[in-house]
Structure 1
């Protein structure tokens, strides 16, 4: 097989990149190791930044999002049994976020790719990226029981932390920066309408809690738990009781309970691989960077990466200049590190470390108080949450 851009991975990054390239008249082939059902049901992120929403609309992939997604103009911060709203449009000049699950983004992009785009091969396992430093890199893959080779001008690895793309970069050219956190998130889906119309981030002496949602009838909630916790060790009623404790307010607000349909524990870590390019191999999304979910940045960072690549390649096609493509890693990493900083700040602001001292507790509360009483501090949070520029 032969194409201009070989894309490994049909998550939101790979699918969106294929759509952007198609719209620019550039051919691509997408290789995905899982089947279509898995891709369209894989539960991940649910918050889309303003820039991500704008990109999906411009790409012709925002119709159902606009009909079914939930626009949010703020979040609520809770601490010391108090409630404080952060108004995004008022602080950012009009930016907001959209609650629209990654599963739905993938469904929309898969349908468009099958109807209008180039080849999208499910259950096509990428085995290796070869010749990244040459002008004709190749992806060896297994499909329908036999090995094949995809010859490309460029390869973009959207295949996550454990994929083959990142491993194709020689160790002597790789620099890794990471941090692990001594806690995780116990997350649940529950068949109950959300108890608040916007996300609630709660800092409590017992640990962090987050009230989120996937639809008007499905709630998504999280509890900070010790690293390595087994989700099965928490009974459903224990989860609801603990959520009530951490969301408690002085004004009598109440949490609605419902049937828990799933629960799992997400580990927390920060990870950045530099550079994000080696020869004609480009990394995007989790293949290059991971953020703790507190700042809702993972999917949105991946979108920023593929937008940067697509624009740079289109610029090369139009002008003959590879300047933007050569600057891919540097351009992406500026945004990546701002998102890493924001996610780290949100995580340390709201989670209580296992060995936290009374002094550190007071500093956390002072940081939160500053955000809700200072327009400058509130603006910094709102700008970070609604998204850094894609340029």
Structure 2
């Protein structure tokens, strides 16, 4: 089947412990030490951890209290998102020296399609190496990269030789690479899905490949077809230079749990203001308002309402959020509230996604990677 899938030269660049590395770069006293960005205070949550901290099991989304128990020497650093945005722009500027087909996934990672590139370099591997060297020389940070025929394999490969390394999966190596891969390493397979796959006897890509399309759709719904195709090296999603934003959100974790809706209204006002500010800055509006509620026991609840018209005004967003808050009684005290806008007016021109096609350009083994 590999001889019938489209072949592109895709690089996935992923910065190494980005937030933490920026803090260590800007403050030499933090170099070589276990640090966590965020996580300070009783209710704090870790946003990023240095590799020194990761050795102790400190990871993003871990509570600050647990992180400190894991690593008593851990140093908490307050996030500086303006600085991270500044550094991210410098890195992306380097990307655009090689191709205009750059699809950022976040501040610290992006896909690049270098099938045809500004340097006229036929080797995607050498381009990735040059980009990483430039990031280190011009910015002062290390990056890892994955290089392969599509976004999925490149994404998986970028994690293979972290930190400060890269992995190329050539066209003729793709199937063997995926078959040998632990199912937990498949991008798109989360912890819950991995456990379900284990229960079904699926531990590696090879195990996954033995399952039929019907079997996977029966057990995993719409995701089943995704798993069926990716393990066969088929992922036809192109690198999109202008990714269409599908949602926009803001949220806040409280220092103390809130037990009354009345006390939450002031918090919602500020969150709605931030959401409106981001919508206006992005020049978009949306129809669907979703209220996110995280309770003190960490259970999560969402409540949504779709309007017949697009909105971006803070007062309107707040009114809908209030309606959602009072929609039903809260089951416990609340530690976090968030508001997100989706069904944005950027989606009106979206085409309905289709299933991967298997007819395209034939693989050429001399296709240089």
What is the TM-score of this pair, normalised by structure 1? 0.24
Question: Normalising by structure 2, what TM-score?
Answer: 0.25
The structure with more strand, counted as a fraction of residues: 1
Compare CA radii of gyration and give the structure with the larger one.
2
